[in-house]
Amino acid sequence: MTNPLTPAASWPRTEADAEAEQQRLRPLVDRDGPGPSVADGGTVAGVDVAYDDQRDLVAAAAVVLDVATLRTVEQATAVSRVAFPYVPGLLAFRELPAVLDALARLRTAPDLIVCDGYGIAHPRRLGLASHLGLLTGIPCFGVAKTAFTFTHQPPGPHRGDRTPLLDGGEDVGRALRTRDGVKPVYVSTGHAVSLDHACAHTLNLTPRHRLPETTREADSLCRRALAAAVRAGQ
DNA sequence: GCGACAG
DNA sequence: ATCTTGTCGC
């Protein structure tokens, strides 16, 4: 009720309010962590969202994996109405309400969360992963598939090779090669986890694909949840 | 200068 | 994100 971290009741409805909310939360982000290391084991959750714009529906999924074995420990989904349009820089306001619902349905909170998108690599340094980390208090980082406005030197050709991800002159993340000879992913700190630990977890989660297992499983699950909701007729 | 811009 | 077939490869 006096929680400074945005109760659902105050979710912004306009772009101006959303940007103001980002400016308010920005100084609260912990960029250094260190957060859990891979050696600490524990659990890591992946979250993702799918949309049906025709029916105004959004489905979110949270999939929890064991860090050491990559086995699925638990999963949850949530379906609701879209709460915000897609606006570059304001993605969190579109995705997070459903994601928070899905996370709330887990029996046990994960030790770490991986987002499909950016953390502090963001115009106001408050991308999806930073925002979700603040709202949950759980260490969180982002793995994005495209660099778009950010610049970077191409990483070496091998898995594990990395270069700085730059926003102008500012270092905001890493371009990280997760598979030999495959296009890199873009890792950025979200909240309460260091960039080094985020990159180590990303490599741990990519034993055979470019994208983390967490992201792949959450993506597939939220699509199934959306299809099921449509089938049930909403 | 204008538009594009994570998903 | 989503619209969308087949196809090459591990």
What pLDDT, on a 0 to 100 scale, did the predictor assign at position A233?
78
Chain-wide mean pLDDT for chain A? 93
Whether residue A101 is predicted with pLDDT greater than 90 in this model: the reply is yes
User: How much of chain A, in percent, has pLDDT values that exceed 70?
Assistant: 96
| Strand B, CB < 7 A, residues 151-210 of A | none
> On chain C, which bases lie within 7 A of the protein's CB atoms?
1-2
Domains by residue range for chain A, with CATH: 38-231 (3.30.2170.10)
Taking 80 as the threshold, does the pLDDT of residue A155 lie above it? yes
Q: pLDDT-derived band of residue A44, with 50, 70 and 90 as boundaries?
A: very high
Does residue A133 have a pLDDT over 90? yes
Yes or no: say if A142 and A120 are a contact pair by the CB < 8 Å rule. Answer: no
Q: Are A77 and A101 in contact (CB under 8 A)?
A: no
pLDDT value of residue A3: 52
pLDDT in tens, A104-124: 999 999 999 999 999 999 999
Within residues 37-56 of protein chain A, the ones with CB less than 7 A from nucleic strand C are 49-51, 53
Question: Is nucleic acid strand B under 7 Å from A116's C-beta?
Answer: yes
**Tokens 């949530």 correspond to what residue?**
A78
Q: Which long-range contacts (CB under 8 A, 24 or more apart) does A145-151 make?
A: A145/A116, A145/A185, A145/A186, A145/A211, A146/A186, A147/A175, A147/A186, A150/A121, A150/A186
% of chain A exceeding 90 in pLDDT: 88
